[in-house]
C-alpha cells in the first residue's frame, strides 16, 4: 500500500464552537474526552460532517485527522478535521483509505458491498468510480468477529482529500 496515510480519531463531548478566522468560514471545535483530555479541531470548508450534522456544545462527536499532517506544538493540541460525526450507539463510522479488496489500510475492516449500499460523493451525488485508494467515510451497524472485521455498509461517502491536511 503505497503512500500510506494514517487517520487518527478523538471522541468526546463538544465544549465550545467558535469562529477560527475573520471570514467565519472556519470553526474551532473544542472536544473533551472521558479522560478530560482536550483537543481543538479546526473545521474548514473541506471538513466532511457525516449526515451534515451541526455541531453544538454538549454533543458527543468523533473527529478524524491525519497523523501525517503537521500540528502546532500547543496545548490543547489542534488538528485540522478531515471528518466529524456524531457518536451514536447504534452506528459506527470508519474514515480510512481502502485497497482493491476493500480492506482498510489499517487492516481492521473489509467492506462487502450490496445493491443497497449508498455510494456517494461529499456533496451527495452518486459515485460510480473505483473506491480503492480513496478516503472513505463508511457508515455501518454490524460487523463479523473475523480479522479483519467484515461489514455491509449502509453508506459510503468518498472524500476527495489531499494529504497531508
Read off the DSSP letter of residue 100.
T
Spatial distance between the Cα atoms of 72 and 56, rounded to a whole number of angstroms: 25
Cα–Cα distance list, 151 to 67, 99, 113, 117, 165 (Å)? 25, 15, 8, 11, 28
The CATH code of domain 7-86 reads: 2.40.50.140
Q: Is the pLDDT confidence value at 165 over 70?
A: no
pTM of the model: 0.89
**% the chain with pLDDT above 70:** 95
Map out the domains of the chain as residue ranges: 7-86, 92-159
pLDDT digits (tens, 9 = 90+) for 30-78: 999 999 999 999 999 999 999 999 999 999 999 999 888 777 778 899 9
The alpha-carbon radius of gyration of the chain (Å, integer) is 16
Task: Pick the closest to residue 137 from 156, 124, 161 (CA basis).
Answer: 156
* % residues pLDDT > 90 (the chain): 82
Residue-level pLDDT at 74:
81
Amino acid at each position: 500500500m503505497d503512500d500510506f496515510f494514517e487517520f487518527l480519531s478523538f471522541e468526546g463531548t463538544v465544549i465550545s464552537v467558535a469562529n477560527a478566522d475573520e471570514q467565519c468560514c472556519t470553526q474551532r471545535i473544542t472536544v473533551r474526552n472521558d479522560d478530560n483530555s482536550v483537543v481543538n479541531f479546526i473545521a474548514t470548508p473541506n471538513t466532511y460532517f457525516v449526515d451534515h450534522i451541526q455541531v453544538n456544545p454538549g454533543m458527543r462527536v468523533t473527529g478524524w485527522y491525519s497523523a501525517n499532517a503537521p500540528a502546532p506544538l500547543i496545548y490543547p493540541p489542534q488538528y485540522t478535521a478531515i471528518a466529524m460525526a456524531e457518536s451514536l450507539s447504534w452506528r459506527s463510522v470508519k474514515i480510512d483509505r481502502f485497497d482493491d479488496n476493500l480492506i482498510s489500510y489499517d487492516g481492521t475492516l473489509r467492506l462487502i458491498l450490496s445493491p443497497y449500499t449508498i455510494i456517494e460523493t461529499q456533496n451527495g451525488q452518486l459515485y460510480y468510480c473505483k473506491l480503492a485508494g480513496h478516503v472513505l467515510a463508511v457508515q455501518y451497524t454490524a460487523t463479523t468477529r473475523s480479522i479483519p472485521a467484515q461489514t455491509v455498509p449502509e453508506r459510503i461517502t468518498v472524500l476527495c482529500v489531499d494529504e497531508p491536511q
